[in-house]
Amino acid sequence: MSNLFKTNLYLKTFGFFKIPLIFYVNPKVILLNNEEIKVAIKLNRRTRNHYGSMYFGALAVGADISVGLFAMSLVKKSGADMLLLFKDFQIEFHQRAEGETIFSCRDHEKINNQIALVLRDRKRVNEQVCGQAFVPSVSKDPVCSFKLTISLKQRV
């Protein structure tokens, strides 16, 4: 099984048992490596609002998954056992998401530094991580930019 298949299977299972909204929106990881993650959410009956663009809740799920899953992937690669929480969430809309939306996060350096600080200091560390969402079928410009503050703490 490929790593992407395993990641998507984990995401589907996690969504089904822990956070049903993730399962309902049905995001797919299309790229995951040490430097970047890309998550796709299709525009369909489940994710569309009454104006024909992606509903805010579906955009929030995409931002959550792109940052949270990326951080947990980097934590796993570090060999550490950590708890992840989101402390805050900011989003700025630039245009309507009128097609399949790709959520991207490339803040691997911030997250890796945060992991190193948690391991060194053995305290909770907060770090703001940024990402963007695009609708490639419509434009190269982002439809929204988002910032989530990740709070990491080593399990005891």
* Cβ–Cβ under 8 Å, residues 146 and 63: yes
User: Where does the pLDDT of residue 1 fall: very low under 50, low under 70, confident under 90, or very high at 90 and above?
Assistant: confident
How many whole angstroms from its chain centre is CA 153? 19
Q: Which two tokens stand for residue 141?
A: 């410009």
Residue 153 has pLDDT above 90, yes or no: yes
pLDDT at residue number 152: 98
Average pLDDT over residues 55-81: 97
Residue 71 confidence (pLDDT) above 90: yes
Percent of the chain at pLDDT above 90? 99
What share of the chain in percent tops pLDDT 70?
Answer: 100
Reported pTM: 0.95
Q: Is the pLDDT confidence value at 156 over 90? A: no
CATH of domain 3-154: 3.10.129.10
Helical spans, DSSP H, in the chain: 3-17, 20-25, 56-78, 108-121
Task: Give domain limits for the chain.
Answer: 3-154
